[in-house]
Amino acid sequence: MPDRPRFNRRADGAPSYARGAKWPAWALLAIPFLLVILLLNKVAGSRVRWTACWLTVLLFEAVMIPVEHKAILLGHWVYNENRILGPLFWGIPIEEPLIYYIFPPVFVILAYETINGLLSGSVKFDWRSDIERGLKMLGWTPPASAARRAK
């Protein structure tokens, strides 16, 4: 774990710090989340009540945005300016409302529907073909499936 940083004050009074090389770690680390969401959507997307799901996301955003704004001002969370994309929405790094308030609720609901489907037997998880299909959606054909098709 890195040592404690030296905090500065932003114009709005919130603490901040900038340390290390600049790369958007906060946004890039959401990619595994996205891949798992795509895979779960293939498997159990048809079981999800999408209107209820998106309303849940909206409510989550509505609750979290003011709370995070206050939490950042109070210093509960202090973001490293060198690890975020840069633009802020009401003092909050843009990754939060655009990525981290959307993906986790959708992930929780998709995972719940997948587990429930697996337990009830209405969902079958064929790991190999589901992962292959997910990769194909991203435009990459795994060599194993290409070889199988060639046969």
Q: Which residues sit at the interface with other proteins, rule CB under 8 A?
A: 1-2, 4-5, 7, 15, 17, 19-20, 25-26, 29, 45-53, 55-56, 59-60, 63, 67, 71, 74-80, 83-84, 104-105, 108-109, 111-112, 115-116, 119-120
Beta carbon nearer to other proteins, 39 or 132:
39
Beta carbon nearer to other proteins, 115 or 144:
115
Provide CB contacts within 8 A for 35, sequence distance 6+: 134, 138
Question: What are the C-alpha distances in Å from 76 to residues 68, 98, 121?
Answer: 9, 21, 44
* Cβ atoms of 14 and 91 closer than 8 Å: yes
Separation of alpha carbons 13 and 70, rounded Å: 11
Beta carbon nearer to other proteins, 29 or 146:
29
* Beta carbon of residue 95, minimum distance to other proteins (angstroms, whole number): 9
Provide CB contacts within 8 A for 62, sequence distance 6+: none
* Beta carbon of residue 75, minimum distance to other proteins (angstroms, whole number): 3
Beta carbon nearer to other proteins, 19 or 136:
19
